[in-house]
C-alpha cells in the first residue's frame, strides 16, 4: 500500500534527542543527552499523599471530563507564582493548562503560522520547539546571539528587512541548549524592538525557577505593554514531568485561539494530574522543594564544569550556566560533533550533537551536555570517558 501523507509530514522526523534516548537506554551508558530532571528528587511520597487526598475529596470529579481551560485552583496557584517570581500580573482567564509546555509550542505554531511564514529563533534554539514548529512548515530566520542574548542590532536588521515575520521564539532564562541567560539590558532592548515592529513573542520559560546564583530577572511578559508576549510555563522541571502539566499565559484574544486548538487537539489535560499538582502545592511548600533541586543541580553543574577543565582538551569551550539543566560545548571550527558521538557511544557515554539545535544544517561543532540527570559518580566517570574520546580526536 502506498500512502499519500500531508505535505507537512515531509518536514517531520523523529527528534534527535528522543531517538538518542532509545540508544542510550542500555544501563551501561552514562547519558548527558536527555533533558531529564533527577528522578531521586521527585516527591514520590508527596504525590502519593496528594493523589489520595484528591481521590478521597473529589474522586469522581478527578476521573471525569473537565473544562478545556484547566482546573481553576491550579490556574490560581500558577497566577500567584507568575506574579511572585516573574513579576507577571495576570489572572486565571489568561491562563490555559496544556499537556506540558511542549503542547504550548505546538499550539503557538498552529495559531500563528501558515506554510512559509517566518519565525525568528535564537541560534541555537530548542530542538523540540523546532520539531513542533516544523509541522506548520515555517521559514526560520536565526538571530545571532552572544553571551547576553539576541544581539539587538542583528535583530533589528532582520526585523527591518524581512517580510512576513509572524513570531519570535525565545528562551531568555538558562536557554536550551546554550545555558545562557539574557541580561536585563538586552531584555529591555528586545522589548523596545518588539514594540516597534509589533511582532508576537513566544517566551518559553521551563527552567527559570532553577537559578543557582545571581538575581532573578523579570520575564519579558512582565515588560509587555502591547499584549505581544505569550508566556509558556511548565511544572516539569520544578515538580515532575511525568504528569505533563504546562500552561500558556496570553492576551485574551490570543488565548481564545489556543483554547480552540486545545479543544480539537485533546479536549483537556488530564483532570487528575491537574488536581494532584494543585493539591501538592496546597499540602507542601513547592519553593522549598525547588530549593532542594537547585542545591543538587548547582553541585552537579560545578562538578561538570570542573570535569571539563580537568578532562577535556584545552581547545574545547563551554558556557557557564547560572541555572537550568545544560551547558553547551563548542569544538574547534570544522570539527563535527555528530561524527564523534558514535565513538562516545562505543565508550558508553552520550551527548546530543549540536546540529539538532539549528533549523538548517551547517553548524556541527557543538554539543549539549545535561548535568541534572546523573549522579555525582556517574557524572565524573562519564566526563572522563568523554574527555578520553575528545582527546583522541582533537589532541590534548
Burial of 154 (0-12, 13-18, 19+ CB in 10 A): middle
**353 to 135, 210, 358: CA distances (angstroms):** 22, 24, 11
Distance (Å, rounded) from C-alpha 394 to C-alpha 396? 7
CB of 215 to a second copy, least distance (A): 30
Per rule CB under 8 A, is residue 23 in the interface with a second copy?
Answer: no
| Binding positions for a second copy, 185-224, rule CB under 8 A | 198, 200
Per rule CB under 8 A, is residue 244 in the interface with a second copy?
Answer: yes
Per rule CB under 8 A, is residue 273 in the interface with a second copy?
Answer: yes
Distance (Å, rounded) from C-alpha 99 to C-alpha 132? 14
| Binding positions for a second copy, 159-188, rule CB under 8 A | 166
Choose which of 28, 40, 163, 213 interacts with a second copy (CB under 8 A): 40
Choose which of 176, 181, 269, 372 interacts with a second copy (CB under 8 A): 269
Residue in the block written with cell 536585563: 184
Choices 49-57, 148-156, 297-305, 388-396 (CB under 8 A): range interacting with a second copy: 49-57
Q: Contact, 381 vs 37, CB < 8 A? A: no
Distance (Å, rounded) from C-alpha 38 to C-alpha 317? 26
CB of 25 to a second copy, least distance (A): 9
CB of 64 to a second copy, least distance (A): 5
User: What string of DSSP letters covers 334-391?
Assistant: T--HHHHHHHHHHTTEE-EEGGGGSSSS---SEEEEE-TTS-HHHHHHHHHHHHHHHH
Q: Which is nearer to a second copy, 44 or 283 (CB)?
A: 44
| Binding positions for a second copy, 114-133, rule CB under 8 A | 114, 117, 128, 131-132
Choose which of 87, 257, 384, 391 interacts with a second copy (CB under 8 A): 257
Residue in the block written with cell 513579576: 87
Within 8 A by CB and 6+ apart from 284, the residues are 43, 46, 50
Distance (Å, rounded) from C-alpha 76 to C-alpha 74? 5
Choose which of 1, 161, 214, 396 interacts with a second copy (CB under 8 A): 1
| Binding positions for a second copy, 294-333, rule CB under 8 A | none
Per rule CB under 8 A, is residue 253 in the interface with a second copy?
Answer: yes
Per rule CB under 8 A, is residue 272 in the interface with a second copy?
Answer: yes
Per rule CB under 8 A, is residue 254 in the interface with a second copy?
Answer: yes
Q: Which is nearer to a second copy, 241 or 354 (CB)?
A: 241
Q: Lay out the site mask for a second copy across 93-112 (x = CB under 8 A, - = otherwise).
A: -----xxx-xx-xx---xxx
**341 to 221, 327, 346: CA distances (angstroms):** 38, 17, 9
Amino acid at each position: 500500500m502506498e500512502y499519500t501523507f500531508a505535505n507537512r509530514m515531509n518536514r517531520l522526523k523523529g527528534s534527535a534527542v528522543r531517538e538518542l534516548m532509545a540508544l542510550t537506554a542500555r544501563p551501561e551508558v552514562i547519558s548527558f543527552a536527555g533533558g531529564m530532571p533527577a528522578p531521586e528528587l521527585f516527591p514520590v511520597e508527596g504525590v502519593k499523599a496528594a493523589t489520595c487526598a484528591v481521590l478521597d475529596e473529589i474522586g469522581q470529579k478527578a476521573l471525569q471530563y473537565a473544562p478545556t481551560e484547566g482546573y481553576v485552583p491550579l490556574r490560581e496557584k500558577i497566577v500567584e507564582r507568575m506574579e511572585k517570581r516573574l513579576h507577571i500580573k495576570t489572572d486565571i482567564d489568561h491562563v490555559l493548562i496544556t499537556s506540558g509546555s511542549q503542547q504550548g509550542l505546538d499550539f503557538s505554531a498552529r495559531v500563528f503560522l501558515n506554510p512559509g511564514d517566518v519565525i525568528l529563533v535564537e541560534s541555537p534554539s530548542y530542538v523540540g520547539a523546532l520539531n513542533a514548529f516544523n509541522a506548520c512548515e515555517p521559514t526560520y530566520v536565526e538571530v545571532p546571539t552572544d553571551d547576553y542574548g539576541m544581539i539587538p542590532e542583528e535583530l533589528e536588521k532582520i526585523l527591518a528587512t524581512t517580510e512576513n515575520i509572524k513570531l519570535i521564539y525565545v528562551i531568555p532564562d538558562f536557554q536550551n541548549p546554550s545555558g545562557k541567560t539574557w541580561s536585563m539590558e538586552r531584555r529591555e532592548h528586545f522589548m523596545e524592538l518588539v514594540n516597534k515592529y509589533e511582532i508576537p513573542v513566544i517566551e518559553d520559560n521551563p527552567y527559570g525557577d532553577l537559578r543557582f546564583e545571581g538575581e532573578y530577572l523579570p520575564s519579558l511578559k512582565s515588560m509587555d505593554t502591547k499584549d505581544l508576549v505569550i508566556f509558556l510555563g511548565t511544572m516539569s522541571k520544578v515538580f515532575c514531568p511525568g504528569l505533563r502539566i504546562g500552561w500558556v499565559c496570553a492576551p485574551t484574544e490570543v488565548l481564545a485561539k489556543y483554547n480552540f486548538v486545545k479543544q480539537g487537539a485533546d479536549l483537556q489535560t488530564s483532570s487528575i494530574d491537574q488536581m494532584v499538582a494543585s493539591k501538592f502545592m496546597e499540602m507542601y511548600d513547592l519553593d522549598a522543594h525547588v530549593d532542594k533541586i537547585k542545591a543538587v543541580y548547582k553541585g552537579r553543574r560545578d562538578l561538570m564544569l570542573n570535569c571539563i577543565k580537568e578532562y577535556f582538551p584545552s581547545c574545547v569551550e563551554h558556557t557557564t550556566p547560572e541555572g537550568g539543566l545544560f551547558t553547551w560545548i563548542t569544538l574547534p571550527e570544522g570539527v563535527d560533533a555528530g561524527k564523534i558521538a558514535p565513538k562516545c557511544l562505543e565508550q558508553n557515554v552520550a551527548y546530543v550533537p549540536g546540529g539538532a539545535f539549528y533549523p538548517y544544517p551547517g553548524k556541527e561543532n557543538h554539543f549539549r551536555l545535561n548535568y541534572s540527570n546523573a549522579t555525582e559518580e556517574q557524572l565524573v566517570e562519564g566526563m572522563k570517558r568523554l574527555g578520553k574520546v575528545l582527546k583522541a580526536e582533537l589532541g590534548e
